Structures are given as structure tokens and as C-alpha cells.
Amino acid sequence: MAGGSSVRRWDVSPREAVALQRELREQVVLQPPPGLRVERIAGADVSTEKGRPTGFGGIVVLDAERLTPVAQAGSAVELTFPYVPGLLSFRELPVVAAAWGRLKVRPDVLVFDGHGIAHPRRLGIASHGGLLFGIPSIGCAKSLLVGSYERLGEARGSTAPLVHKGEVVGMAVRTRRAVQPVYVSPGHLMDLPTAVELVLKASPRFREPETTRHAHRLVNALRRADGEAAELELE
């Protein structure tokens, strides 16, 4: 994993986590690496269930042209950080990191089901995760955390800048005609135009990109399998 020790600190209080986000955001690079070629694009997701102490993480790597899976890895990790809006990465990134450690094929870009810099302190899970893994990353979320946007066209591919406190932090992107947009923001080693281009390319049919859809199916399957195993043990 990339980054200094601070990017891998999870044993913090919510107050300390906020301070750490302000420190880490200074390390975020909002520009892709020179000559970035995206042959493999991956999705990361985490599934949790109220009342259960375990988070189930997954990363699925897709061929960027065919959008078919080429590798995947999952994890089950005890959740140690509470659910606090704006601090999702401290709860979920340890789960994703365990899956990353098992992944045999590295992607060129990692798409998170969450936000990048479209975040109160400009360090959502996609930015924190990009720093942690040292990889170009994108946030693609289903709901807004911060910011607002003007009227968005109905056609697929329509976009509207997402503005927070006078700063463009992301883009509302229509991936399907007349369907609710997704909210795209750069994570790390990424700019907004490239992030939008890659999300649209990865979303040929549905609202969510195929990266998120595959990762979501994986983590939910892991959670269900674990629940069924637990029930069998009780019988």
C-alpha cells in the first residue's frame, strides 16, 4: 500500500478522524498520471447489516473494453469505527483493504461506491482509498453528500457541475435517459473530465457503472453466505 502511516490509521476517534481528513486532503492529486491507459477498471464496495459487527468487502476487476470480470477478491472484517456521516472511509476502508490484499490482478483505476472530493473536507472514501492504495480512483455515488447543481438534461451523457462553497467538486451525470443521475467526483490521481468519461463508459445500460454492480453483487453474496453459515451453526 502507498502513503505514509497516517493514511492507514484506523484507531482514531471521530474527532481525530476529522483532523486526519484535513491532513490527508493535502496529499490528494487531482490529475491522472501521465499517459494513463485504462485496460482494467475495478469496483469496490462494502456490505453491512444492522446489528452485525462484520463488514463484507469486495473488489471486482473488469476488462475496461468488454466490462467483463477478470479477477475479484472478498473479505470479512470486524467493524471497529461507528457509522458517522462524512467519516465512511474509517469504517469501510479497512474492509476494502483486506480484499485489496487478496487481489491477484491490479486494476488501472478503482471506482468506489461513494464520494471522492465531493465531501465536506474533500476527502471521501474514494480519495482516502486512492491515497491508501496509490491508485487512480473515482467516487461514483447514488446520493449527494454536499453541493448542488443546476438543471440537468434528460439525455444520457448530460452533465451538470456539482458546486459546494463556490468550488466545483464533482458532476451530476445522467447515465440513463430520464433516470436519476449519479454523482461523480475525482478521488486521487484523477481529474473530473476523466472520471466522468470513465463512469459513462462503464455504464452502457444501467444507472450504476458495471464496476459498482459487480462489486455490489459480490459483497451481498458474501454477507448472505456468512449469514446462512451462522444459521447452520445454530441448528
The confidence score (pLDDT) of residue 22 equals 95
CB 184 within 8 A of CB 194: no
Q: What is the CATH class of 5-234?
A: alpha beta
* Region for 134 from its dihedrals, namely left if φ exceeds 0, alpha if ψ lies in -120 to 50, beta otherwise: left
Beta strand ranges found along 83-235 (DSSP E): 109-112, 137-141, 159-164, 167-173, 182-188
Q: Are the C-beta atoms of residues 212 and 140 closer than 8 Å to each other? A: yes
Tell me the one-letter amino acid at 149: Y
In terms of Cα–Cα distance, which of 47, 74, 42 is closest to 60? 42
Q: What is the pLDDT along the chain (235 residues), one digit of tens a residue?
A: 555 567 888 999 999 999 999 999 999 999 999 999 999 999 999 999 887 889 999 999 999 999 999 999 999 999 999 999 999 999 999 999 999 999 999 999 999 999 999 999 999 999 999 999 999 999 999 999 999 999 899 999 999 999 999 999 999 999 999 899 999 999 999 999 999 999 999 999 999 999 999 999 999 999 888 765 444 343 3
Which long-range contacts (C-beta less than 8 Å, at least 24 apart) are formed by 148-153? 152/181
For residues 234 and 87, give the distance between their C-alpha atoms in angstroms, rounded to a whole number: 35
pLDDT of residue 8: 82
Q: What is the pLDDT of residue 234?
A: 31
How much is the pLDDT for 51? 78
Q: Where are the domains of the chain?
A: 5-234
The per-residue pLDDT for 224 is: 86
DSSP one-letter string for 214-231: HHHHHHHHHHHHHHHHHH
